[in-house]
Amino acid sequence: MTESGLKLILWVSTASLIIAMLAIPQPVDPWEMPSLLLDRAAVSDTIRLDETLALGALDSDEAQALRSLFLDHGRSEANPPYERAEFDERQAAIHRATQALIEKHGAPAFEALRASAIEDFVRVFDDGAGEAENDHEVAVLGGVRQVLEQYGAIHLGVLVAPPLTARVFYKARWNSIHRRPFVEGFTQTELQAYWGWLALHGWGKPLEEREDALVVFRDAGGFGTQEAAALFDVLEGNPERGSQSLEQLYEVSGELRLRNLALGTRHAALLPMGSP
């Protein structure tokens, strides 16, 4: 037997052993949600749309005034606390500036300004790893880093969420500051990036809020929502229903991971596989 032939036999044997081990039912603790998965082409299209909209951002007096107020808000966020009266006064000024911009230049000018703000954020966030290095960067970032850390999108100083999730968190913040609906102007993929992260990775947040986010994520075409719903049943103290759902998903998909999750759920609850 040649050396290459022996290596081939050893490789085949090892691969067969690994496949056999994977096929053996192994209980897996049912606590980890499926990861947020986004379509790469759709993400690229979404980012390209923002980049295109940003090119149309005006440099008019109205746009400059609104942009300046937004940056002032960011400075205040980064240096809490600030007086409630200051907040209310700035919010009133932002409302007036928003109306002035839209009345003179139309809604597309407002949308372009939002896209331009997102692109500013991306440049600052990427260049400084989320850390502000001067007054302008402080104003651009505001308190968004703290929000990303609060929701687990940044862990130990590293962005662990998809980059699009960081973008949409910032876009939601921009909308909120301008008193618009959080997800105004979001594409379907952005809705997935926003609600999907809240539902699947928002550990420490109330389960009811995460379940509501999961419904919106599902309606936006999100991936893994049935598995997540089954795991929410487990987290809510209903392992029987969660295990049944996981078993049904396994029967449909044939994914061994789902079988092992179902087994882990029943093992933790001392339930036999296949029980009602």
- Taking only the tens of pLDDT, the chain with its 276 residues reads 555 555 555 554 555 444 434 454 565 666 678 899 999 999 999 999 999 999 999 999 999 999 999 999 999 998 888 788 999 999 999 999 999 999 999 999 999 999 999 999 999 998 655 577 899 999 999 999 999 999 999 988 899 999 999 999 999 999 999 999 999 999 999 999 999 999 999 988 899 999 999 999 999 999 999 999 988 988 888 888 888 887 888 787 777 777 777 777 776 654 444 433
pLDDT at residue 21, as a whole number: 42
pLDDT at residue 128, as a whole number: 54
Q: What angle do CA 247, 220, 191 make, to 5 degrees?
A: 120
Compute the distance between CA of residue 122 and CA of residue 46 in angstroms, rounded to an integer. Answer: 14
pLDDT at residue 82, as a whole number: 77
Would you say the pTM of this structure is higher than 0.85? Answer: no
Cβ atoms 247, 264 nearer than 8 A: no
CA 228: distance to chain centroid? 15
pLDDT at residue 27, as a whole number: 56
pLDDT at residue 271, as a whole number: 46
If DSSP states are collapsed to H, E and C, what string results for the chain?
A: CCHHHHHHHHHHHHHHHHHHHHHCCCCCCCCCCCCCCCCHHHHHHHHHHHHHHHHCCCCCHHHHHHHHHHHHHHHHHHCCCCCHHHHHHHHHHHHHHHHHHHHHHCHHHHHHHHHHHHHHHHHHHHHHCCCCCCHHHHHHHCCHHHHHHHCCCEECCEECCCHHHHHHHHHHHHHHHCCCCCCCCCCHHHHHHHHHHHHHHCCCCCHHHHHHHHHHHHHCCCCCHHHHHHHHHHHCCCHHHHHHHHHHHHHHHCCHHHHHHHHHHHHHHCCCCCCC
Cβ atoms 197, 151 nearer than 8 A: yes
pLDDT at residue 6, as a whole number: 53
Compute the distance between CA of residue 12 and CA of residue 128 in angstroms, rounded to an integer. Answer: 47
pLDDT at residue 275, as a whole number: 39
Compute the distance between CA of residue 241 and CA of residue 30 in angstroms, rounded to an integer. Answer: 13
pLDDT at residue 98, as a whole number: 97
* Cβ-Cβ contacts under 8 Å for 179 (sequence gap 6 or more): 91, 94, 95, 98
Compute the distance between CA of residue 155 and CA of residue 149 in angstroms, rounded to an integer. Answer: 6
